[in-house]
Amino acid sequence: MKDKFFKYIHQLQNTITSKLEEVDGKAKFQEDNWDRPEGGGGRTRVIENGAVFEKGGVNISGVHGKLPDSMQKYFGVEDADFFACGLSLVLHPTNPMVPTVHANWRYFEMYDKEGNIVDQWFGGGQDLTPYYLFEDDAKHFHQTCKTTCDKHNPEFYPKYKSRCDEYFYNTHRNEGRGIGGLFFDYCKATDEMSMQNWYDFVTEVGDSFIEAYVPIVEKRKPLDYTKAQRDWQEIRRGRYVEFNLVHDKGTLFGLKTNGRIESILMSLPPHVQWVYDHQPEAGSEEEKLIKVLQNPVDWV
């Protein structure tokens, strides 16, 4: 399973980066292959200063070895070895009318002293963070997620949509990071779902990413914007940074397992503002966004 999924994320990285270069039309991804001293490594691809994408990364990694003490306590195990692989991407467009997007699809195995698999699971999802709310975009993104989920189980979309709203939530701000999508974790074999079934589901979600995001980019990238709208985007990016550094489990896992810092922090946008006690104007498009972030919407 780990070899099959590792091969899949290599192919998916190629598919996604090729399509994004085509959409951008100017910048190309810079590739960086790296090794982890304790075992494994990865392939980081970053795009910067493009016609559409100010900064973005589409990274894959496969790491293995002894599970660090901090993570052994987290999982409640002793002397465990692990293997983890996944693809993680974040894209920050220049135009504030184009939303930021994040996606991640991952697989994890844990082993006993004899090297037997004692636990294994899939996780992942994809979520959208707009700066200006276009309801058509929100509906398109969520409908794509739902259509993909419904092929496998009609309960998946409402369950994983709800988990996404709960997970990508800045509790210290009482607002969502964005308008959500899907979030699933600890997807393990059961009587209803084998690991092959989970593989089929997770890879179908991965394959749906381009369909979910690219039409939104194509529709919004030609729109004009003002300096004030760009300032608002940078203030909202600050909330994005806050979530990733305070709450995100993937960031914390990478830091605690001696992950590659450049790859972990590639999710951070290049230009951000923190304005003291900033409040959007009553009745404005900015306030409209905040109200939706404080009360998740059922888009489909």
Supply the CATH classification number for the domain 2-294: 3.40.1500.10
Query: What is the predicted pLDDT for the residue at 260?
Result: 82
Reported as a single tens digit per residue, the pLDDT across 59-73 is: 999 999 988 777 777
Query: What is the predicted pLDDT for the residue at 300?
Result: 96
Query: What is the predicted pLDDT for the residue at 196?
Result: 98
- Check whether 227 has a pLDDT greater than 90: yes
What sections of 169-297 are H helices per DSSP? 195-220, 227-246, 249-256, 261-264, 285-294
Mean pLDDT of 114-135: 95
Half-sphere exposure of 56 (CA within 13 A, CB side): 27
Distance CA 182, CA 146 (A): 9
Average pLDDT, the chain: 95
Reported as a single tens digit per residue, the pLDDT across 32-46 is: 999 989 899 999 999
Query: What is the predicted pLDDT for the residue at 80?
Result: 84
Q: State residue 85 phi and psi, 5-degree precision.
A: -140, 155
Query: What is the predicted pLDDT for the residue at 71?
Result: 76
* The model's pTM: 0.95
Query: What is the predicted pLDDT for the residue at 104?
Result: 96
Cα 137 to Cα 129, 199, 222, distances in angstroms = 11, 28, 15
Of 8, 31, 28, 33, residue with least CA distance to 18: 28
Active site residues: 102
Residue 215 C-alpha from the chain's centroid = 18
Reported as a single tens digit per residue, the pLDDT across 230-255 is: 999 999 999 999 999 999 988 887 78
Cα 255 to Cα 108, 251, 263, distances in angstroms = 17, 6, 11
